[in-house]
Amino acid sequence: MKRPAVFIDRDGTINEQMGYINHISRFVLLPGVPETVRLLNEKGFLAIVVTNQAGVARGYSNMELIHEVHALLEKSLKKEKASLDGIFFCPHHPLGVVPEYARECDCRKPKTGLIEQAQRAFDIDMPRSFVVGDRCNDVELAHRAGIRGILVKTGYGMGEIEHVLPKKRERPDHIAQDLLHAVRWILEGN
Ligand SMILES: [Mg+2]
Ligand SMILES: [Zn+2]
């Protein structure tokens, strides 16, 4: 049976925006995130993280650290009886220095490759799905994938609203205080 998904950005939406997470100590979960993911679990939504991690291509971090961070994220959620259905990330960047990852790809947001990867892994009810993130790029990702995008005010959100959004034709379908409020708005039936 098809299920709707909430595609959730990572840095600035799930955890504190700290620039590159180049050490596990820089991964700090935002308040309310486990409860929010649990709410999605209970309501039958797939909770899927989609994140650009160009630090890998740039040599600021590596795959091992990415997996360490995601293991910590999943452990922190599990403690609160919440779980993600998937984590999809893009390690690439065209200007990277690590040859394996230094390239144009089709998965760096706002390109839709990560959502397509998720669609191959799950039977997703796309018309009922959303992207939630703190950058206008996340809204653009949503619209390129033909779904609705919610901008949150955590992470880069406030600055994006002030400086980037006015120059964009793209409009978020909703602006929410944080991930919890975004998910509440989704569950209210929008
Ligand atoms: Mg972000
Ligand atoms: Zn990529």
Query: CA-CA distance, 118 to 3, in Å (whole number)?
Result: 12
Q: 3-class DSSP state for residue 49?
A: strand
Q: Which ligand is nearest to the CA of 51?
A: 1
Report cis status (omega within 30 of 0) of the bond before 91.
no
pLDDT at 20 over 80: yes
pLDDT for 189: 87
Report how far ligand 2's centroid is from the alpha carbon of 118 (Å).
14
Tens digits of residue pLDDT in 89-148: 999 999 999 999 999 999 999 999 999 999 999 999 999 999 999 999 999 999 999 999
pLDDT for 170: 87
Q: Is the pTM of this model over 0.95?
A: yes
Percent of the chain with pLDDT over 70: 100
Report how far ligand 1's centroid is from the alpha carbon of 1 (Å).
30
Query: Cβ-count burial of 188 within 10 angstroms (0-12 exposed, 13-18 middle, 19+ buried)?
Result: exposed
Report how far ligand 2's centroid is from the alpha carbon of 106 (Å).
6
What is the secondary structure of 134-173 as a DSSP string? SSHHHHHHHHHTTSEEEEESTTTHHHIIIIIGGG-S---S
Going by their DSSP bridges, the two strands 130-133 and 86-90 should be labelled as: unpaired
pLDDT at 71 over 90: yes
pLDDT at 73 over 80: yes
Residues in the chain: 190
11 is catalytic: yes
pLDDT for 133: 98
pLDDT at 190 over 90: no
Residue with the two structure tokens 């980037």: 164
CB burial string 132-164: b at 16+ within 10 A, e below? bbbbbbbbbbbbbbebbbbbbbbbbbeebbeee
Residue 79, phi then psi, degrees to nearest 5: -55, -30
CA 42 → CA 2, 46, 84, 96, 157, distances in Å? Answer: 16, 10, 12, 40, 27
Q: Is the dihedral of CA 105, 109, 110, 116 positive or negative?
A: positive
Alpha helices in 26-112 (DSSP H): 33-42, 55-58, 63-79
